[in-house]
């Protein structure tokens, strides 16, 4: 909230009192729900799903505060924040100047490519992939980025992911469905069922499986 308000003094106090709070994100772990079956928390619906103070500062136009947070961040936090905020120059610089950065990312940060795909953030997903994050990362529902691209009907995201050879037949943990199954469900019940490119999305998934591009995946 301090980042949303642009309160630099309060942000500095939090960081001075607990430097590890720089890792804070709007997740179920950081903001557990009283009722685990509820649809989220006020922080998720107000600030956004999986956002960090860095992204919140950017979202609310506090660029000086964003830079303060970046200056106080360890390298892995800077990298993921730069991906989420579409700062390609910083991503490239961090990867080039820190050999082994990607392979040494903690599991929690490795999964952010799946979280970006869940949020339908094509730019962040692409930046994470080009930086070297794995296309088979598991996010919400233990679904892959391709599951989420398919669910959203985001054909450009599916196409970008398929360049990195993600698993095509892997089923998520909660619904036991493949990315193609998520595309079919998303075309009927998804968050973007009225605007998503499910025809293109399904075509990319089918072609990625080595099947004929003319197959009608809706049947």
> Which residue range is the domain that position 213 belongs to?
107-219
Domain-embedded: residue 25: no
In the structure, what pLDDT confidence band is assigned to residue 43 with cuts at 50, 70 and 90?
A: confident
Measured between alpha carbons, how far is 181 from 144 in angstroms, rounded to an integer? 13
Domain-embedded: residue 186: yes
- In terms of DSSP H, where are the helices of the chain? 2-5, 8-17, 42-47, 53-59, 63-71, 75-84, 88-97, 107-110, 112-118, 122-131, 145-152, 155-162, 179-189, 198-208
Measured between alpha carbons, how far is 29 from 149 in angstroms, rounded to an integer? 24
CATH no. for residue 168? 1.25.40.20
Q: How many CB atoms lie within 10 A of CB 16?
A: 9
Residue 219 pLDDT more than 70? no
- Count how many domains the chain has: 1
Domain-embedded: residue 211: yes
Higher-scoring residue by pLDDT: 208, 137: 137
Domain-embedded: residue 93: no
What pLDDT does residue 13 have?
Answer: 97
What is the model's pTM? 0.88
Angle formed by the axes of helices 198-208 and 155-162, to 10°? 10
Residue 18 pLDDT more than 90? yes
Domain-embedded: residue 179: yes
Predicted confidence (pLDDT) per residue in 121-161, tens digit: 999 999 999 999 999 999 999 999 999 999 999 999 999 99
DSSP state of 38: S
Angle formed by the axes of helices 88-97 and 122-131, to 10°? 20
Domain-embedded: residue 32: no
Domain-embedded: residue 6: no
Q: Which of 25, 219, 206 is nearest to 106 (CA)?
A: 25
């Amino acid at each position: 909230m301090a980042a949303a308000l642009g309160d630099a003094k309060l942000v500095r106090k939090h960081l001075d009192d607990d430097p590890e709070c720089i890792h804070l994100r709007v997740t179920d772990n950081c903001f557990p729900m009283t009722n685990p079956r509820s649809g989220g928390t006020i922080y998720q619906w107000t600030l956004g799903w999986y956002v960090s103070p860095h992204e919140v500062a950017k979202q609310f136009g506090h660029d000086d505060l964003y830079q303060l947070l970046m200056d106080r961040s360890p390298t892995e936090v800077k990298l993921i924040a730069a991906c989420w905020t579409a700062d390609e120059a910083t991503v490239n610089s961090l990867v080039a100047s820190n050999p082994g950065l990607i392979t040494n990312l903690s599991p929690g940060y490795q999964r952010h490519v799946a979280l970006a795909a869940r949020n339908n953030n094509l730019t962040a997903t692409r930046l994470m992939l080009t930086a070297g994050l794995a296309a088979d990362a598991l996010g919400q529902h233990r679904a892959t980025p391709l599951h989420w691209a398919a669910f959203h009907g985001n054909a450009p995201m599916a196409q970008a992911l398929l360049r990195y050879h993600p698993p095509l037949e892997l089923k998520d943990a909660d619904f036991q469905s493949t990315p193609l199954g998520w595309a079919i469900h998303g075309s009927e019940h998804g968050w973007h069922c009225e605007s998503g490119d499910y025809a293109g999305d399904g075509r990319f998934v089918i072609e990625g499986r080595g099947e004929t591009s003319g197959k009608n995946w809706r049947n």
